[in-house]
């Protein structure tokens, strides 16, 4: 069974972007003890994060894997996860080209990815902060 | 060319050697280029890509630069590589009153010969480059300044030369130059001997060592330039920049010690910022130093504060071929028939390579050169302490 490639058709209909996401999902390992809860804004959408997490970790836990668009037009996400490859660049608090893997989350941080996100539409959608 | 055409051997696979090879081969000459390591493995692969006009002194130096500039656009189409040539304009950043007065005089001399260069106040400078520090005093601007990818340029010259039947021999270390009756006859290398009627010394910072093989002393010295590379970011810099201190340091090494060595800055096609540089006499040592890198980062960040958001991903250093009068050495060496110099461009090798290659090719094939080359003649260093070849 081939390993599913980011951006390949095995990932869903959006071949070059993020598949439709449920921002309420949490892919974290439940048993790990975490820092205080906080919220990030990613392209205007609120997602959950915990103190001590990198932006990379928070985005990945929300299922967001494609961050930026390379010169070739292909989407890119985290490759090395340790600050070397510069594939995971996102705009953080209006500063472009910051490494998601090397930036720790802060309260009310605003993250912008070049690859758009598509919120999965469900009739009874509840926002994380419950008002809307 | 007839079979009686001279066999030409070029020593050095940097931007100068490959440009000469290309311009010769295009005319059908018999050319062999010998490179010790890989093409562009020396200074041509360890430099920035600035093609600055307004940093040149009016006179022969600027004429050579202008002729090169006019050739770059053609080369962009001619060469089988994308040389990423962009005529984006350049600015010289002025930080002190002394520099302002010096640059005022420098630009007046340039304007007098018709160079398109103007002095900008702070407001005008910030209009052109919004991320410049508001603490600078102003800048000079010329729309003529450009940038190019130096490695692609060198490889482009080499590939085009080979297409025109030039032979390129790499990883061949020159062991000696054969002579007979005070004439060159060939070059001995670790990859065999090559017959030659003409030998061109285009060995860059090592040109002095090559000349010594035939007992000729040429005052080319390695001068280290360190460069800092940042990650590839969004466009933040529309022009190429140097500081007024850079011009001072270039023409008066004593000023480099007093006022610092100046900086240069460009954003390459890929988005990486290249920050330079140092000018140091440390022999053939190509290492980076913490103090050199630290100074480059401090001084570039002072005039371009947005650098705080950039990460350094790499540093390197190259050895620029320095000559005492700041001009390259181009032409026949009086002491030995058939032995030509084409080295000593210091930090201008990339910018001057198109005209240098063309003029050297014409000179070697006995054609007229419309730019007079007397000022570049090796003869000017006759009394440098070299002994004539006996």
Instruction: Verify whether the Cβ–Cβ distance A96 to B231 is below 8 Å.
Output: no
Minimal Cβ distance to A86: which of B232, B234, B309: B232
Instruction: For chain B, give the mean pLDDT.
Output: 93
Q: How would you classify residue B238: left for phi > 0, otherwise alpha for psi between -120 and 50, otherwise beta? A: alpha
Lowest average pLDDT, out of B51-60, B180-189, B303-312, goes to B51-60
- The pLDDT of B192-208, averaged and rounded, is 98
CATH classification for the domain delimited by B90-143+221-322, as one of 1.10.1740.10, 3.40.47.10, 3.30.360.10, 3.30.9.10: 3.30.9.10
- Give one DSSP letter per residue of B155-194, joined into a string: HHHHHHHHHTT-EEE-S--EEEEEESSSBEEEEEETTEEE
pLDDT over 50 at B321, yes or no? yes
Residue A108 has pLDDT above 70, yes or no: yes
In a domain, A21, yes or no: no
Q: Is the pLDDT of residue A1 over 60?
A: no
B270 contacts A98? CB cut-off 8 A: no
- Rank A9-23, A55-69, B235-249 by mean pLDDT and report only the highest: A55-69
* Number of domains, chain A: 1
> DSSP H helical segments within chain A, as ranges?
55-61
Q: Which domain holds residue A111?
A: 38-116
The whole-angstrom separation of Cα B169 and Cα B13 is 9
How near does any CA of chain B get to the CA of A40, in Å?
21
Predicted ipTM > 0.85? no
Cβ distance A99 to B313 less than 8 Å, yes or no, reads no
CATH dotted code for B7-45+151-218+325-384: 3.50.50.60
What is the average per-residue pLDDT within B357-382?
Answer: 92
Task: Tell me the pairing of strands A68-69 and B118-121.
Answer: unpaired
Is residue B138 pLDDT above 60, yes or no? yes
Residue B385 has pLDDT above 90, yes or no: no
The C-alpha atoms of residue B320 and residue B306 are separated, in whole angstroms, by 29
Please state, in angstroms and rounded to a whole number, the distance separating the CA atoms of residues A117 and B237: 30
Residue B316: per-residue pLDDT? 97
Smallest CA–CA distance, residue B306 to chain A, in Å, is 10
Does residue A28 lie in a domain region? Answer: no
Residue B333's contacts (CB-CB under 8 Å, 6 or more residues apart) are B211, B216, B218, B339, B340, B341, B378
**pLDDT for res B383:** 65
Whether residue A61 has pLDDT greater than 70 = yes
Instruction: Please give the C-alpha separations between residue B339 and each of A27, A62, A79, B238, in angstroms, as whole numbers.
Output: 72, 69, 53, 43
Q: Residue B3: its pLDDT value, please?
A: 46
pLDDT over 70 (residue A66):
yes
Give how far Cα B136 sits from Cα of B139, B255, B280, B304, Å. Answer: 8, 20, 26, 10
Q: Which of B231, B234, B309 sits opposite A86 (nearest CB)?
A: B231
Digit-coded pLDDT (tens) for A5-24: 444 333 444 445 676 777 77
Q: Is residue A10 part of a domain?
A: no
Are B134 and B148 a contacting pair, CB within 8 Å?
no
Query: B-chain residues within 8 Å CB-CB of A86?
Result: 231-232, 311, 313
- Pick the range with the lowest mean pLDDT from B105-109, B123-127, B382-386: B382-386
Q: Where are the domains of chain B?
A: 7-45+151-218+325-384, 90-143+221-322
Name every chain B residue with its beta carbon within 8 A of the beta carbon of A99.
311
In this prediction, residues B230-235 reach a mean pLDDT of 94
- Interface contact flag, A71 B270, Cβ < 8 Å: yes
Interaxial angle between packed helices B349-364 and B150-163, expressed in degrees from 0 to 180 and rounded to the nearest 10: 20
**The pLDDT value given to residue B254:** 60
Quick one: pLDDT at residue A127? 46
The H or E element that residue A104 is part of is: none
Note the pLDDT tens digit of each residue in B79-95.
999 999 999 999 999 99
Q: In whole angstroms, give the CA distance from residue B279 to residue B292.
A: 10
Decide: helix, strand or coil at residue B123: helix
At B388, the pLDDT band (50, 70, 90 cuts) reads very low
Query: What is d(CA B340, CA A121) in angstroms, rounded to the nearest whole number?
Result: 75
Q: Which of A65-69, A116-120, B8-12, B166-170 has the lowest mean pLDDT?
A: A116-120
**How far is residue A3 from each of residues A9, A11, A12, B146, B244, measured CA to CA in Å?**
12, 10, 14, 46, 56
CA A71 to chain centre: 20
Here the CATH number for the domain that contains residue A84 is 3.10.20.440
Residue B250: pLDDT band (50, 70, 90) is low
B119 close to B103: Cβ distance less than 8 angstroms: yes
- Give A129 to chain B, closest Cα distance, Å: 32
The arithmetic mean of pLDDT across residues B294-300, rounded, is 95
Residues in chain B: 390
Prediction pTM value: 0.87
Q: CB of B258 within 8 A of CB of B99? A: no
**pLDDT single digits (tens) B7-18:** 999 999 999 999
Residue B364's pLDDT band (boundaries 50, 70, 90)?
Answer: very high
- List residues of B whose CB lies inside 8 A of any A CB: 231-234, 270, 309-311, 313
């Amino acid at each position: 069974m081939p390993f599913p490639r980011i951006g390949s058709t095995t990932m869903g209909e959006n071949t070059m972007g993020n598949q439709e996401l449920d921002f309420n999902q949490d892919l974290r390992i439940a048993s790990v003890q975490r820092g205080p809860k906080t919220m990030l804004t990613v392209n205007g959408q609120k997602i959950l994060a915990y103190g001590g997490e990198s932006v990379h970790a928070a985005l990945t836990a929300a299922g967001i894997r494609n961050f930026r668009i390379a010169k070739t037009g292909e989407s890119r996400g985290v490759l090395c996860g340790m600050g070397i490859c510069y594939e995971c660049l996102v705009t953080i608090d209006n500063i472009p080209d910051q490494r998601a893997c090397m930036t720790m989350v802060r309260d009310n941080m605003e993250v912008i990815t070049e690859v758009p996100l598509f919120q999965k539409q469900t009739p009874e959608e509840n926002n994380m902060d419950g008002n809307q | 060319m007839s079979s009686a055409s001279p066999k030409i051997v070029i020593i050095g696979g940097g931007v100068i050697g490959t440009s000469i090879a290309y311009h010769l081969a295009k005319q059908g000459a018999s050319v062999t280029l010998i490179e010790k390591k890989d093409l562009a493995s020396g200074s041509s692969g360890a430099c920035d890509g600035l093609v600055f006009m307004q940093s040149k002194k009016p006179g022969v130096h600027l004429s050579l630069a202008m002729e090169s500039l006019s050739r770059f656009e053609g080369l962009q189409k001619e060469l089988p590589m994308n040389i990423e040539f962009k005529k984006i304009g350049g600015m010289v950043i002025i930080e002190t009153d002394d520099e302002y007065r010096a640059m005022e005089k420098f630009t007046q001399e340039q304007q007098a010969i018709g160079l398109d260069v103007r002095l900008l106040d702070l407001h005008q400078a910030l209009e052109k480059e919004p991320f410049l520090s508001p603490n600078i005093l102003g800048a000079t601007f010329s729309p003529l300044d450009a940038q190019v990818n130096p490695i692609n340029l060198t490889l482009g010259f080499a590939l085009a030369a080979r297409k025109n039947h030039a032979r390129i021999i790499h990883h061949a270390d020159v062991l000696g130059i054969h002579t007979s009756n005070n004439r060159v006859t060939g070059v001995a290398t670790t990859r065999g001997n090559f017959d030659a009627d003409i030998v061109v010394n285009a060995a860059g910072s090592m040109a002095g060592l090559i000349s010594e093989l035939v007992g000729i002393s040429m005052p080319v010295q390695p001068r280290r330039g360190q460069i800092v590379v940042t990650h590839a970011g969004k466009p933040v810099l529309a022009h190429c920049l140097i500081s007024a201190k850079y011009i001072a340091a270039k023409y008066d090494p004593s000023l480099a010690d007093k006022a610092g060595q100046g900086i240069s800055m460009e954003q390459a096609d890929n988005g990486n910022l290249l920050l330079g540089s140092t000018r140091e006499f440390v022999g053939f040592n190509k290492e980076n130093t913490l103090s050199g890198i630290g100074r480059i980062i401090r001084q570039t960040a002072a005039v371009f504060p947005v650098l705080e958001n950039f990460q350094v991903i790499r540093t390197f250093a190259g050895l620029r071929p320095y000559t005492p009068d700041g001009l390259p050495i181009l032409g026949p060496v009086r002491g030995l028939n058939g032995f030509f110099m084409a080295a000593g461009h210091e930090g201008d090798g990339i910018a001057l390579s198109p005209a240098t290659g063309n003029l050297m090719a014409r000179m070697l094939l006995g054609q007229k050169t419309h730019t007079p080359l007397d000022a570049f003649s090796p003869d000017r260093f006759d009394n440098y302490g070299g002994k004539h070849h006996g």
